[in-house]
Amino acid sequence: MRVLISGGRVIDPSIEADGPMDVAVAAGRVVAVAPKNQLPSDFAPSRVIDATGLWVFPGLVDLSARLREPGYEYRATLESEMEAAMAGGVTSLVCPPDTEPVLDEPGLVEMLKFKARQLNLAKVYPLGALTTGLKGETLTEMAELTEAGCVGFSQAEEPIMDLRVMAQAMRYARNFNCTVFLRPNEPNLSRGGVAHAGAYAARMGLSGIPVMSETIALQTYFELMRNTGVALHVCRVSSAKGVDLIRQAKAEGLPVTCDVAIHHVHLTDMDIGFFDPHAHLIPPLREQRDRDAIREGLLDGTIDAICSDHTPVDDDAKLLPFAESEAGATGLELLLTLTIKWMREQQVPMHRVVELLCSGPASVIKVQAGSLRTGMPADLCVFNPDHDWVVGSQTLISQGKHTPFNGFPMQGKVVATMVNGNLVYSTLDKARNKVTAD
């Protein structure tokens, strides 16, 4: 099908676009992006989507979204979370390996990718387990897992206690040109903690997770990088000191990239309020100076991507006293809207938003995504910047309804999503979708 997205504000720094343009799509790929009436003369669309007054972005690439399959279907299903991704404009997403069973064998990875393809929605890029069963003892067969479709290797939230194993894993990953994804956490310092180790947690009587659990882990990783040469992606940096260490590592020339969860761009430990379990997250929400440093790191290029850290949690695990509740929150449908909210608050250039949500994460996992360049897969989303709505169980498609933003009024929402040239999600007024025959 040939589709024309007409009259929207197209924003994509990879093609230096920011203004009213038409996007021509055919055979699942971008044919052209050009001002009105400047498309190829032989392009005859079979469908025209009127995007006047709307914004058109490349499809989002999310570096951390737990889909809960296989093994945790009672919390969410692959279908429900893929539909949530479409509603959030996320066309490519990275799935951590902490499923049940763990993604440590090629057959499991191939099965997950097959099921995702059958749904014909978002593109799923699994991370393989760095060690068998995520137990931190025996290395997985990284070459075979890469052939099966893994874009990197991770321990998810499970530590490797033996640094000799960690060094061996990094050397092995380097030999196969694989990226290692690690969340910086020294488990001996964070064990039993549920909130940031600061004055607020102390007053609330909550056991703390200190910043040094992040910084000590980072310093260890960087020293191992110097000796192994591995490419490292730091997942979910949460502190000012952590951001500064990553900035120094990049200045040194280490092959390191990093992301931050969207929650940490907006919230602080004070948002726990009166023991609100929706604000129980890992890593924990930290102090305002940490949030401010994260925002600075997003602007100066220290942080390469914003992710949703989407983790659906069911009522039985979430609606408990704070310290007993399970950490995690839904985020796929909020990622773009909350990033636009930050953009408006700090007057961030629009091109930086697209870099952090599209091209930046795509470059981390080395996939063809996050851009509307001619010949690229036609993955894109259409965003209504003036759509007012309130976050809640009735407005979220994800099976996971728990987020610290429950009840928050939002401005702006994805109204259409296209994957490989197929319109897979749309809430556009039918009067604005003009359909013509070939």
**Residue pLDDT, tens place only, 144-185:** 999 999 999 999 999 999 999 999 999 999 999 999 999 999
Mutual angle of helices 106-119 and 78-87, in 10-degree steps = 60
What are the residue ranges in the chain where pLDDT is below 50?
Answer: 430-438
Tell me the C-alpha distance between 118 and 12, whole Å.
29
Tally Cβ neighbours within 10 Å of residue 366.
13
What are 119's two structure tokens? 């749904």
E-assigned strand segments in 118-264: 123-126, 128-129, 153-154, 179-182, 195-196, 208-209, 231-234, 256-261
Tell me the C-alpha distance between 213 and 218, whole Å.
9
Tell me the C-alpha distance between 91 and 85, whole Å.
7
Give the pLDDT score at 435: 35
Give the pLDDT score at 436: 33
Residue 165: CA count within 13 A, CB half-sphere: 15
Tally Cβ neighbours within 10 Å of residue 60.
33
Catalytic residue among 22, 104, 304, 309: 309
Cβ distance 397 to 333 under 8 Å? yes
Q: Rounded to 5 degrees, what are φ and ψ at 123?
A: -90, 130
Tell me the C-alpha distance between 72 and 160, whole Å.
24
Give the pLDDT score at 433: 42
β-bridge pairing 195-196 and 179-182: unpaired
| Sign, CA torsion 183/58/30/396 | positive
Tell me the C-alpha distance between 308 and 438, whole Å.
39
Closest Cα to residue 15, out of 49, 45, 57, 54?
57
Cβ distance 303 to 378 under 8 Å? no
Give the pLDDT score at 72: 83
What are 181's two structure tokens? 């994804």
Q: Is 309 a catalytic residue?
A: yes
